[in-house]
Amino acid sequence: MNLKKRTISILVICMLIVSVGLLSIACTVPTEEGGAATGAEEAATTATGSGGWMVWVWLAVILVAFYFLLIWPQRKRNKETQELLSGLQRGDEIVTIGGFHGRVKDVRDDVVIITIASGVDVKISKSAIAKKISQQQESKK
């Protein structure tokens, strides 16, 4: 969670720096006569493309923000889930997404058979496994 807050704060700071830089560039519109630009001249200059590259900069900033806030964490979560499911073995203690705690009895292609009580075996889908309980967590209980 600390890494997520750090990433968000870095992105906000970068966006502020870029926006201040763009505002300082946009406020200094040169004219042919060397004087201050009137409102009509400034609007015409901006409309003809001198400020058009700013749109691309903001688009790039938004795409980078979406990548770091949405896509990257989801890929990381998917990778961790795949590692969890591929590393399941007989005897592992697991928790399902429904909240059932059990011990793995058999692992098949996409189905796992778990024992939730003595003599009670349940067949569940591998995608229904939320997490694996480590031996250290069990010894604390």
| CB 115 within 8 Å of CB 102 | yes
pTM over 0.85, yes/no: no
Average pLDDT estimate for 80-85: 91
Q: Are strands 129-133 and 120-125 parallel, antiparallel or unpaired?
A: unpaired
Q: Which is higher by pLDDT, 9 or 54?
A: 54
Q: Which residues of 63-82 are buried (b: 16+ CB within 10 A; e: fewer)?
A: eebeeeeeeeeeeeeeeeee
Among 34-43, 78-87, 107-116, 120-129, the minimum mean pLDDT is found in 34-43
For residue 93, give the nearest of 127, 120, 130, 140 by alpha carbon. 130
Residue ranges of domains in the chain:
2-86, 93-134
Residue 106 and residue 123: Cα distance in Å, rounded? 9
| Secondary structure class of 42 (helix, strand, coil) | helix
Please indicate whether residue 40 or residue 80 has the higher confidence score (pLDDT): 80
Cα Rg, the chain, nearest whole Å = 28
Q: How far is CA 35 from the centre of its chain?
A: 48
Q: HEC string of 88-135?
A: CCCCCEEEECCCCEEEEEEECCCEEEEEEECCEEEEEEHHHEEEEECH
Q: How far apart are CA 61 and CA 20, in angstroms?
A: 14
